[in-house]
Amino acid sequence: MKSSYIIDYINENEFKKKERAIKKYNMLAYKKLLFDYYPSLREGNFQGVLVSTNEKDKTEKYELTLPTDKTFVKVHGNITLHYTVYLEQKTVILETLTPEDILTEGHQKELTTYKGVMVSKSHKDLDMFKINLLNSMNKDGGFFKLGNLPFGVILFMAAALTLGIILVIGKLIIK
């Protein structure tokens, strides 16, 4: 049996705020964190990607990506737990949860959701644009599918593209 590790924080208040934001807006990630990853870390099973090691201090830094919705990942990025393991002291230091901006804002203000994804109040239009763009690209017809166009239109587009390339190359050669 492996000996037990102690979990501690660099800044417990800030970490707990981000953790509560995850609990509020992404329950799946929170449940995995609380019921799978924390007990695993206490047992000494370090999950995630080993980012760096320090032989002198006998420490290892890890990044663990939490499960979340694909659209959330494309709009805000992965939810990632950053932690450091001190092997001699048998201590796991929880550093932060990212993306910090949306998680910190989620704790400070009541965020709205748009089509199931959290939307930041500071750049609401940008987030909604990204969500709409991703949804339009994922529809059955797709954002732009050549298979839906008649052959004559495809042929015309190919000819126009070829002509444009020839003109650009011609201007570069003349200069």
- Model confidence pLDDT, tens digit, residues 88-135: 999 999 999 988 777 776 656 677 777 777 777 777 777 788 777 877
Average pLDDT over residues 122-151: 70
Residue 36 has pLDDT above 90, yes or no: yes
Q: Give CA–CA dist 90/44, Å, rounded.
A: 8
Residue whose structure tokens are 């932060």 = 96
* DSSP run (H or E) holding 52: strand 49-54
Amino acid (one-letter) located at 167? L
Average pLDDT over residues 5-27: 89
Using alpha carbons, select from 87, 111, 120, 88 the residue that is nearest to residue 20. Answer: 111
Give residue 109's pLDDT: 67
Q: Is the whole-model pTM more than 0.85?
A: no
Residue 62 has pLDDT above 60, yes or no: yes
Give residue 75's pLDDT: 79
Q: Give CA–CA dist 166/47, Å, rounded.
A: 53
Query: What token pair was written down for 126?
Result: 């940008």
Give residue 49's pLDDT: 93
Residue 126, SS3 per DSSP: helix
For the segment 70-83, what is each residue's pLDDT rounded down to a tens digit?
877 887 788 899 99
Give residue 73's pLDDT: 81
Q: Give CA–CA dist 16/133, Å, rounded.
A: 33
Average pLDDT over residues 52-67: 92
Mean per-residue pLDDT of the chain? 82
Using alpha carbons, select from 64, 62, 73 the residue that is nearest to residue 36. Answer: 64
Confidence of residue 1 (pLDDT cuts 50, 70, 90): very low
Portion of the chain with pLDDT greater than 70, in percent: 87
Residue 9 has pLDDT above 80, yes or no: yes
Using alpha carbons, select from 79, 136, 46 the residue that is nearest to residue 128. Answer: 136
81, 41 contact by CB (below 8 A): no
